[in-house]
Each structure stands twice: as C-alpha cells, then as structure tokens.
C-alpha cells in the first residue's frame, strides 16, 4: 500500500484547480447552448437540421445532437419532420422578457412611416451582445426590393448599417475592445478590416447615420440610425435598404434626415415609457 500525504497548501491548490476547471467547463457548455439556441431561432420559422446547427455553431455533429436533444427535453426546442424549431419554453420566457425589452409596438409606427415616406424597406434591429438581430420589417412601395434583411437575421456589429450605427455610438473603450477581437474581415472581406471600418465609423459619428454601400450583397445599400435607451446607450437601430440607384448622394442626405428624425422620436418615446 502506498500512502500519499499532501500538504494543506497542495490540497487547497488542487481544490482551486478543480474549481477553475469546473467553472471553465460550465462556461463552455453555456456558450454552446446559447449558440445552438441562437442558430435555431435565427432560422425560424423554418426547421433546422442537426447538421445545419453543427455547421452554424462550429460544433461536431454528435455534440450538436446531444445539446439539441437535451434542450428539447427541457422544452426549449421542439422537433418536426424536417428538424429543430424553437420550443414552448422559449415562448414563455420571451413573453416575460418582452415587458422590459420589447419596443416593437412603440417602434412599429416609425418603421411603417419610414417605409411609406421613402418607398424603401424599413427595419428595426436590436443589439444582442456583439450582434444585431432584425425585429421588424416593413416593405416600401418601390417595386424593386432588397432581401438582405429579414426578421430574425443576425449580423455582427459593424456589418449591416444598423450594427454600424450602434457600434459608432458605443463608449470609446467598449467599441475599441470589440474591434480588437472582432476580426470581421475574416468572414466579411477586406472592406471590414480595422482601417476601413474605422473610416465608416468616423463618418457615421459625423453625420449621425450609417451607410453600408453594398458590402453585404453587391448593389444592395443600407442606411441606419441608432436608437438610445434610458441610459443614453445605443441599443436599437432603424434602417432602410434598397438598390444602389436609390441611394445616390443627394437622396442619402434626405434618407439620413428621415432616419435621424424617427430615431430621435423613438428614443424620446422610450425615455418616457411608464415605469422608466
């Protein structure tokens, strides 16, 4: 028999190491669960296959399947013949969270008016961490439309015009921290390198509104203006998209004024909501 004697300091060190490993493992699981839920939600209302979830999240297929099955067992996801869809628990939690975070009813009139006034497709997007997610879409009267944005689609901050407008007005330290780790050019091309993006952010701060000159889909332009929460932080954005010929210099100024007017009005409405 071998007797192993550990000093008190060794025991404490081992306990600390075990706690650190457990914490790291738990954080990783939460991150993976979040990625799976976001992927399935972004694909809704269409079902998403296990393989598609694995590809979207960077997980192996067996890992994705285990997480999907566990989330379905808890009611966060459901499964139909074609794949995975958001489940009833997400609906219930979303209903509760909507009281604090949902601004759709206040924003809807502004989105509709922007579409009516400009003839372009108009949107409301919300910041969610390092991304924006499209919440509302209203079609304009112009017959040729851009379909880059739809409800539920997500983009990293700084890519679509909504995320560019939000990123431009974040506090300097927070914006620089994001830019130092985002590496947008890897997935979105050289026009999203640090230098190119910094130039667009500077122009956005100067004019008040962001312009995406067809960088997601060639020929499809977007413009956005930030909407601020009660703390003065950019949390949402109103935006317009359309074909390039509808976004010439003189008309961009006109569209920018309309976006800023409605973004300011919505910001004021949010500041005066009951209970705020």
How do residues 49-66 score in pLDDT, each as one tens digit? 999 999 999 999 999 999
Q: 77 and 109, same structural domain?
A: no
Only one residue has tokens 């995320």, namely 163
How do residues 12-24 score in pLDDT, each as one tens digit? 444 454 455 455 6
How do residues 142-155 score in pLDDT, each as one tens digit? 766 666 778 888 99
Q: Which residue, of 27, 58, 91, is where some domain finishes? A: 91
Domain span including residue 238:
102-271
Angle at 156 between CA 64 and CA 273, to 5 degrees: 105
DSSP, residue by residue, 179-236: HHHH-THHHH-GGGSHHHHHHHHHHHHHHSSEEE-SSSSTTEEEEEEEEE-TTS-EEE
How do residues 70-126 score in pLDDT, each as one tens digit? 999 999 999 988 899 998 888 777 766 665 556 888 899 999 999 999 999 999 999
Q: Give a yes or no: residue 170 inside a domain.
A: yes
Could you give the CA distance from residue 12 to residue 182 in angstroms, rounded to a whole number?
A: 38
Q: Which residue, of 91, 111, 139, is where some domain finishes? A: 91
**What is the SS3 string spanning 138-192?**
ECCCCCCCCCCCCCCCEEECCCCHHHHHHHHCCCHHHHHHHHHHHCCHHHHCHHH
Q: Which residue, of 37, 60, 91, is where some domain finishes? A: 91
Q: Which of 159, 162, 153 is nearest to 42 (CA)?
A: 153
pTM (global) more than 0.85: no
Task: Sort residue 170 into left (φ over 0), alpha (ψ -120 to 50) or beta.
Answer: beta
DSSP code, position 124: E
Could you give the CA distance from residue 107 to residue 262 in angstroms, rounded to a whole number?
A: 9
Q: 110 and 168, same structural domain?
A: yes
pLDDT at 151: 84
**Both structure tokens of 10:** 């060794």
What's the CATH number where 181 sits?
3.30.450.40
Q: Give a yes or no: residue 28 inside a domain.
A: yes
Q: 109 and 13, same structural domain?
A: no
Q: Which of 42, 60, 43, 41 is nearest to 51 (CA)?
A: 60
Q: Which of 15, 5, 90, 104 is nearest to 45 (CA)?
A: 90
Q: How many CB atoms lie within 10 A of CB 184?
A: 20
């Amino acid at each position: 028999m071998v007797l192993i004697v550990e000093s008190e300091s060794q025991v404490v060190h081992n306990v600390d190491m075990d706690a650190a490993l457990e914490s790291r493992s738990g954080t990783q699981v939460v991150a993976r669960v979040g990625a799976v839920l976001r992927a399935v939600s972004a694909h809704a209302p269409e079902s998403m296959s296990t393989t598609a979830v694995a590809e979207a999240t960077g997980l192996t297929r067996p890992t994705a399947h285990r997480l999907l099955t566990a989330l379905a067992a808890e009611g966060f996801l459901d499964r139909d013949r074609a794949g995975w869809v958001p489940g009833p628990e997400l609906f219930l939690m979303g209903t509760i969270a909507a009281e604090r975070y949902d601004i759709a009813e206040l924003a809807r009139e502004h989105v509709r008016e922007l579409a009516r006034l400009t003839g372009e497709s108009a949107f409301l997007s919300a910041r969610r961490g390092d991304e924006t997610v499209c919440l509302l879409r209203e079609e304009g009267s112009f017959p040729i439309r851009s379909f880059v944005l739809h409800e539920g689609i997500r983009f990293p901050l700084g890519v679509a015009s909504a995320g560019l407008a939000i990123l431009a007005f974040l506090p300097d330290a927070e914006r620089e921290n994001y830019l130092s780790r985002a590496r947008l050019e890897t997935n979105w091309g050289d026009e999203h390198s640090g230098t190119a993006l910094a130039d667009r952010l500077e122009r956005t701060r100067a004019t008040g509104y962001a312009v995406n000159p067809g960088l997601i889909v060639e020929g499809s332009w977007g413009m956005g203006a930030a909407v601020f929460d009660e703390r003065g932080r950019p949390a949402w954005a109103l935006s317009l998209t359309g074909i390039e010929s509808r976004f010439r210099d003189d008309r961009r100024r006109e569209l920018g004024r309309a976006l800023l007017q409605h973004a300011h009005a919505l910001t004021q409405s949010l500041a005066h909501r009951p209970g705020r």
